[in-house]
Amino acid sequence: MIRLLRAFIAVDLSDELRDKVADIQSMFSDFKFKFVDPNIVHITMKFLGDVHEENIDEIAKALDSIEYDHFEANVKGIGVFPKPKYAKVIWVGCEGGFEGLHALIEDSLTSFDITPDMHKFNAHATLARVKYLPKKQKQDLIVLLDELKEVDLGTMQVTSIKLKKSILTPEGPVYETLHEVKLK
């Protein structure tokens, strides 16, 4: 029987930044958003989707071939996808060596049946998902986003990437690290 795992490659936020994520999320408490548990907020480097369980070891080996120096990342600026009037995702931006790391991750996965990202990579950590936003709250959200667009949560050292599986539960996703690749 073929087992599929919902998998992705991520950079975890530092504990210090997770505390600051919780503070930022609390600023959106007037909205009925679905907040990501601050303890599992991460920067998705590549969403793999449903992967055959027997391919996980080969994907891990492919990721082990990545040679990239660790780097300092700055986590700052609250934004949304796709745009403030029609927000579906609230995120915090991440600056550093993410684009180069993402390119190497993409290159390492070319021999697998994984669709390459078609959009320019935008390093971010999802804070909340917007299922519904009443018309009367749209302007409040736009004002708050404008206030937070330059907020600086701080820096962290990016020293590894992690291959994770996601188990969806009624209480929210549960993530398990399957493999970790240390950066140089």
Contact 9, 44 (CB under 8 A): yes
* pLDDT of 85 over the 90 cut: no
Choice between 119 and 11, residue whose per-residue pLDDT is larger: 11
What average pLDDT does range 28-43 have in this prediction? 95
Predicted local confidence at residue 61, as pLDDT: 98
pTM of the predicted model as reported, rounded to 2 decimal places: 0.93
Domain boundaries, the chain: 4-182
What average pLDDT does range 132-139 have in this prediction? 92
- pLDDT one-digit tens code per residue, 37-67: 999 999 999 999 999 999 999 999 999 999 9
37 phi-psi bin (left φ>0, alpha ψ -120 to 50, beta other): beta
User: Please, which residues have CB within 8 angstroms of residue 25's CB and are 6 or more apart in sequence?
Assistant: 35, 38, 127, 128
What average pLDDT does range 146-153 have in this prediction? 97
Cα 145 to the center of its chain, rounded Å: 19
Q: How confident is the model at residue 137 (pLDDT cuts 50, 70, 90)?
A: very high
**Which residue in the list 52, 102, 124, 179 is annotated as catalytic?**
124
The rounded mean pLDDT for the chain is 95
179 has catalytic annotation: no
Percent of the chain with pLDDT over 70: 100
Measured CA to CA, the distance from residue 12 to residue 39 in angstroms comes to 9
Choice between 91 and 168, residue whose per-residue pLDDT is larger: 91
Q: Is 76 helix (H, G, I), strand (E, B) or coil?
A: strand
Predicted local confidence at residue 170, as pLDDT: 87
- pLDDT one-digit tens code per residue, 88-128: 999 999 999 999 999 999 999 999 988 888 889 999 999 99
**Which residue in the list 42, 70, 102, 179 is annotated as catalytic?**
42
Residue linked to tokens 């991520």? 10
Q: How confident is the model at residue 1 (pLDDT cuts 50, 70, 90)?
A: confident
H/E element holding 62?
helix 56-64
4-182 homologous superfamily: Cyclic phosphodiesterase (3.90.1140.10)
Predicted local confidence at residue 78, as pLDDT: 98
Contact 117, 98 (CB under 8 A): no
Measured CA to CA, the distance from residue 148 to residue 13 in angstroms comes to 19
